[in-house]
Amino acid sequence: MKTSEIMTGRKDFYTFLQRLFYKEVDAQLLGALKGMTFSENCGDAEMQKGYDAIAAYLKNSGENSLDELAADFSKVFLGAGSHEGNAAFPYESVYMGEKPLVMQKPWEEVKKIYAQHGLALENVPSEMMEDHISIELQFMAQLDDIDDAKAFLSGHLLCWADRFCADIEKYAETDFYKGAAALLRGFLKMDLALLTELEGQEHAEKAYSVTDAQFDAVIERLSKDYKVYAPRLTGKFGRNGKEIVRFGEIKSVSEIVYDRQSDFSAKEVYYPVMQTMIYFTESESRESELKDDKGIIIIAHPCDINAVRRLDSIFLENGNHGDVYYARLRNKVKFVMLECAESFENCFCVSAGSNVCEDYAMALRLGETNSVLVKDGEFAALFNGCEETEFAPKFVTENKKAVNMPKVEGKDDVKLASGLEYWNSFDEKCISCGGCNTVCPTCACFDTVDVIYDETSVDGERRRVWSSCMLDTFTLTAGGGRARKTAGANMRFKVLHKTYDFKKRFGKENMCVGCGRCTSRCPKDIDFAEVVNGFTEALDTAKEAK
Amino acid sequence: MENIMLPKPHKILRVLKETQAEYTFRVECSDESKHGQFYMLSIPKIGEAPISVSGRGEGYVEFTIRKVGRLTDGMFGLAAGDNLFMRGPYGNSFPVESFEGKPLIVISGGTGMCPVRTTLNYFYDNPEKCPEVRFMAGFKAPDAVLFTEELEKFKDRFNTQYCLDTGEMEGFKSGFVTQCISDVPFADYEDYNVVIVGPPAMMHIAAQECVKCGAAEEKIWVSFERKMSCAVGKCGHCKINETYVCLEGPVFNYTKAKELLD
Ligand code: SF4
Ligand code: SF4
Ligand code: FES
């Protein structure tokens, strides 16, 4: 089948589903449904369950089916007749918002997405919010672009469909709506697989075997439009006597250090340690400019690429407004995923769920022979002349360290977690140097400092500099007050942020990607994996004791 | 993308000395701000700090700043006619509309009076909007007493109690302001609101005392003061668990505030 035919087929199905969830079944729809023959072996177990249930209902339907279906519709989706108001409320916001209410953040997000696509949503009753299941389905039916459809499906519909369908099944009386739930759930999952396949065909990925010399030539060509960064040696030595590895510009593949974790993360490339934000005079303030108009290519391991999403959440999403200084560099970045030959000393990316990464322009295996997989069309011609090969990057599936992430559920757990005696043990151990924050790919905090050029005028600039929640001045106010007063309290704050509250706020993933750098960096040999395990254990014990 | 961290110059209209250490800067500005909101002020040669609006009127806002530490020192070289760079207003506000028609109890400690000052003046100027205002203000010592004239003025329309932690002065009781809370007849009120602003320890004690005297937690409102370097949810300084004080605060209902553990 041609891609266009597949697209039309799936869009028609979305339109069909849209109608099922949009309003009650009317005579016309019932007639149409009765006239349809449902597949008895559609190839997807979940969808088949749905077809079977609906077919069974239709077969036994009688005169009062319309009334019965209408009553069930109001019960399931509007909570009619339930004293507690329980229902499968068909809004994303109810399932994905901070509170189970309509018109929260997810609603704002989908409105924004609809607006970006400039699509007209027709026949939408004014009382229906834009994140209603039927409107999201209708939107899917209108999207022509595979990437856009996949993004909306995985970023929105699929995030809540499972729980929504489970609620339908819970509250529905009729097999019809139970079946509709199974159909929806099954179809959405199948569509994701389908879109992924189409996407793969669209951007036919090719892999090459590349010699060092060929690679260096590629870097040279890339350098016209990009600055190419990779982990490389710095000539400086760390406290363990090893030469420090940091991200820097490279000219040759031989510079790339691929067989150990870099001491600093890739974030310093797009979120530098120090940045000038504003220039001041007596009467004017002016945004600093970027001097360089080249793009940025960063060759990095999966943990660093996954970390960018975390920083995006804070700098682009939090507070519903983007940060100019972050965005202007971040938007230039394309990643080349550097395969991990093995799991390094302190890594626990598998426990952190960030060992695998899909968001990259190219993937790279370095070693005796080098292999490259090119995903991004822009780079398709870059390796012409190199030998084509079969290469699919592998991901680490086991680390030397394993971490049990804490299970903090609800206010009582937070209170329990915050009050643990455990944290006090760090008052002595941790010297509040903040080193762990500086090497972390997901630490985003900063301070601002104003610098004046000479004492006689106010002309100067405002800079921002990485800050560190482990420093004892982090919460110090002008009035001299400090919110968190001990190293233990800071440790608690950091650990909860990395393993619990970031996820609570942004709903997607924990902040920590398990790169292990903080452990390698700590002058007091505080091992972050052990710290988290100790916390989880202390919390579990406290929960049991209650 | 708009640069939300770019401050704009505003002309200083006058500088008023409140105490030895506190000055009120009146700045030209016609933004709409709500009761309890704050601005990020650029302190020349130093950096930015969050400062609550302590007063406002046609075409101006006021900020009362304490001369402590390096951070606010730079402010005191400024005079009328100079520019002050600022951005805002930021944060949420006291739900003053829902305060209307019910007794209001305001308890402030020291400069905690600044963020509630516009609320107090609003009810002073519109006495028909509030059947009863009880205002309790505490200060460290006689030389730390702020807005003296206003304290005097509030006496005619509000039930006022002023306290000094140490030292003596006419019209002031000695001891902490929290001692006055037991006088509030919470049990006689059908509905009411309590606003508490001051140093963290004072707010904590005051809220607990209110609850002890029969106040319902959901009727108590507090305002947090935190270190802030951005006020727009990026710098991380104000964060408590998953809550960003600059975005979701600085005003919190006590039911939420008591969960915000540092
Ligand atoms: S907390 Fe430690 S292990 Fe986790 S991402 Fe940061 S540096 Fe890596
Ligand atoms: S690196 Fe170690 S000693 Fe330094 S702040 Fe982090 S945990 Fe504490
Ligand atoms: S003040 Fe920067 S995040 Fe709130």
Which range among A498-502, B16-20, B165-169 shows the weakest confidence by mean pLDDT? B16-20
Chosen for mutation from B239, B247, B260 (greatest number of chain A CBs closer than 10 Å) is B239
- Residue A200 binned pLDDT confidence (cut-offs 50, 70, 90): low
Highest mean predicted confidence (pLDDT) among A97-111, A444-458, B240-254:
B240-254
Mean pLDDT, residues A99-114 taken together: 85
Round to whole Å and give the CA distance between A48 and A10.
Answer: 16
Q: Is the CB of B240 under 6 A from ligand 3?
A: no
What DSSP letter does each residue of A479-514 carry, written as one string?
TS-BS--SHHHHHHHHHHIIIIIHHHHHSS--S---
Q: What is the pLDDT of residue A481?
A: 82
pLDDT band for B123, please (50, 70, 90 cuts): very high
Say if ligand 1 is within 6 A of residue A393 CB. Answer: no
Look at residue A44 in the predicted model and tell me its pLDDT: 82
Residue A267 pLDDT: 97
Which has the minimum average pLDDT: A253-257, A380-384, B242-246?
Answer: A380-384
For residue A10, which of A150, A177, A175, A159 has the smallest C-alpha distance?
A: A150
A106 C-alpha vs ligand 1 centroid, how far in Å?
29
Q: Rounded to whole angstroms, how far apart are CA atoms A289 and A463?
A: 13
User: What percentage of chain A reaches a pLDDT higher than 90?
Assistant: 67
Nearest CA in chain A to B249: A319
Q: In this predicted structure, what is the pLDDT of residue A122?
A: 67
Atom of ligand 3 lying closest to residue B247 CA: 4
Please answer yes or no on whether A479 and B69 come within 8 Å at the CB atom: yes
How is residue A156 written in tokens?
Answer: 């929105």
Buried b (16+ CB within 10 A) or exposed e, B234-262: bbbbbbbbbbbbbbbbbbbebeebbebeb
pLDDT at B40 over 70: yes
Question: How many angstroms separate the CA atoms of B257 and B28, rounded?
Answer: 33
Residue B149's nearest CA partner among B177, B124, B166, B128 is B124
Closest-approaching ligand to the CA atom of A499: 1
Distance in Å, CA B42 to ligand 1 centroid: 33
Tell me which residues of chain B, numbers 44 to 63, contact chain A at a CB-CB cutoff of 8 Å.
Answer: 44-49
Give B126-158 pLDDT, tens digit per residue: 999 999 999 999 999 999 999 999 999 999 999
Chains A–B, number of C-beta pairs less than 8 Å apart: 141
Indicate the pLDDT class of residue A219, thresholds 50, 70 and 90: very high
Parse chain A into domains and list their residue ranges: 3-202, 218-388, 410-444+470-545
A77 touches A177 (CB < 8 A): no
DSSP string across B114-155: HHHHHHHHHHHH-GGG-S-EEEEEEESSGGG---HHHHHHHH
The pLDDT value recorded for residue A126 is: 77
What sections of A172-301 are H helices per DSSP?
175-202, 212-222, 267-270
B161 contact A CB<8A: no
User: Does residue A308 line the site of ligand 2, with CB under 6 A?
Assistant: no
Regarding the beta carbon of B244 and ligand 3, being less than 6 Å apart is answered yes
Q: By CA distance, what is A452's nearest residue in B?
A: B45
Nearest to B227 among A321, A325, A476 (CB): A476
Q: Is B136 in the pocket of ligand 3 (CB under 6 A)?
A: no
pLDDT over threshold 70, residue A512: yes
Asked if A479 lies within 8 A of B66 by C-beta distance, the reply is yes
Nearest CA in chain A to B69: A478
Q: From the alpha carbon of A511, which atom of ligand 1 is closest?
A: 5
Both tokens of A100, joined, read: 């189970």
How far CA A275 is from CA of A267, A332, A465, in Å, comes to 13, 17, 7
Task: Indicate left, alpha or beta for A350 from its phi (over 0: left) and psi (-120 to 50: alpha).
Answer: alpha
Contacts of B69 in chain A (CB under 8 A): 478-480
- Please determine, for residue B71, whether its predicted confidence score (pLDDT) is greater than 60: no
Distance from CA of B72 to the nearest CA of A (A): 7
Which CATH fold would you assign to the domain B8-90?
Answer: Elongation Factor Tu (Ef-tu); domain 3 (2.40.30)
Taking the C-alpha atoms of residue A441 and residue A437, their distance in angstroms, rounded to an integer, is: 8
Top mean-pLDDT range of A4-8, A110-114, A283-287, B88-92: B88-92
Once rounded to an integer, what is the mean pLDDT over residues A218-222?
A: 95
Rounded Cα–Cα distance for residues A3 and A145 (Å): 11
Calculate mean pLDDT across residues B60-73: 79
Evaluate whether B1 touches A327 at the Cβ level (below 8 Å): yes
B227 CB near a chain A CB, below 8 Å? Answer: yes
Q: Which of A150, A126, A120 is nearest to A138 (CA)?
A: A120
A-contacting residues in B 105-124 (Cβ below 8 Å): 111
A493 CA → ligand 2 middle, Å: 13
pLDDT reading at A135 higher than 80: yes
* 8 A C-beta contact, residue A127 and residue A7: no
Mark yes or no for CB contact B5/A418 under 8 Å. Answer: no
CATH class assigned to B96-257? alpha beta
Is A374 within 8 Å of A362 (Cβ atoms)?
Answer: yes
Quickly state the pLDDT bin for B92 (edges 50, 70, 90).
very high
CA A449 to centroid of ligand 2, rounded, Å: 24
Average pLDDT, chain B: 92
Residue A47 CA to residue A344 CA, distance in Å, equals 43
Write down the pLDDT at residue A446: 97
Supply the pLDDT for residue B70.
60
Q: What is the pLDDT of residue B73?
A: 66
Interval B18-45 mean pLDDT: 90
Interface contact B21, partner A, CB < 8 A:
no
Query: Domain locations in chain B?
Result: 8-90, 96-257
**Residue A82: pLDDT over 90:** no
A3-202: CATH architecture = Orthogonal Bundle (1.10)
- Predicted pLDDT of residue A116: 84
A515 CB within 6 A, ligand 1: yes
Print the SS3 string covering B94-122.
Answer: CCHHHHCCCCEEEEEEHHHHHHHHHHHHH
pLDDT tens track for B155-184: 999 999 999 999 999 999 999 999 999 999
Q: Across the interface, do A285 and B6 touch by the CB < 8 Å criterion?
A: yes
pLDDT band at A100 (very low <50, low <70, confident <90, very high): confident
Query: With an 8 Å Cβ cutoff, are A489 and B262 in contact?
Result: yes
Find the DSSP H helices in A154-174: 158-171
Distance between CA atoms of A504 and A428, rounded to whole angstroms?
A: 30
Alpha carbon dihedral A287, A288, A293, A297, in 10-degree steps, equals -100
Average pLDDT of span A299-308: 97
Pairing of strands A460-466, B173-174: unpaired
Side by side, the strands of the sheet bearing A295-300 are A243-249, A226-237, A295-300, A333-338, A362-365, A370-374, A206-210, A387-388
State the distance between the two ends of chain B, measured CA to CA, in whole angstroms: 34
Query: Cβ-count burial of B113 within 10 angstroms (0-12 exposed, 13-18 middle, 19+ buried)?
Result: buried
Average pLDDT estimate for A197-210: 78
Cis geometry, peptide bond prior to residue B89 (ω within 30 degrees of 0): yes
Over 90: is that where the pLDDT of A40 sits?
no
Lowest mean pLDDT among A272-276, A282-286, A520-524: A282-286
Does any ligand 1 atom lie closer than 6 A to the CB of residue A435?
A: no
Q: Measured in angstroms, how far is the CA atom of residue A246 from the centroid of ligand 1?
A: 16
Contact B6 A287 (CB under 8 A): yes
What's the pLDDT band for A411 if we cut at 50, 70, 90?
A: confident
User: Distances in Å between the alpha carbon of A451 and those of A71, A375, A447, B45, B130?
Assistant: 69, 44, 13, 6, 48
Q: In this structure, are residues A90 and A77 in contact, taking their beta carbons and an 8 Å threshold? A: yes
Average pLDDT over residues A129-137: 92
Query: A55-69, A120-134, B63-77: which has the highest mean pLDDT?
Result: A55-69
- Mutation probe of ligand 3 site: the residue of B228, B241, B242 with most atoms within 8 A of C-beta: B228
Q: How many angstroms separate the CA atoms of A372 and A392, rounded?
A: 9
pLDDT number for residue B72: 62
- How far off is chain B from A436, nearest CA to CA, in Å? 16
Q: Which residue has the higher pLDDT, A272 or A195?
A: A272
pLDDT tens digits, A458-496: 789 999 999 999 999 999 887 778 889 999 999 999 999
Mean pLDDT across B212-216: 93
> Mean pLDDT score of chain A, rounded to an integer?
91
Which among B235, B240, B242, B260 is the best mutation to test ligand 3's pocket, defined by most ligand atoms within 8 Å of the CB? B235
Query: What is the residue with the minimal CA distance to atom 6 of ligand 1?
Result: A440
Strands A333-338, A295-300: pairing kind? parallel
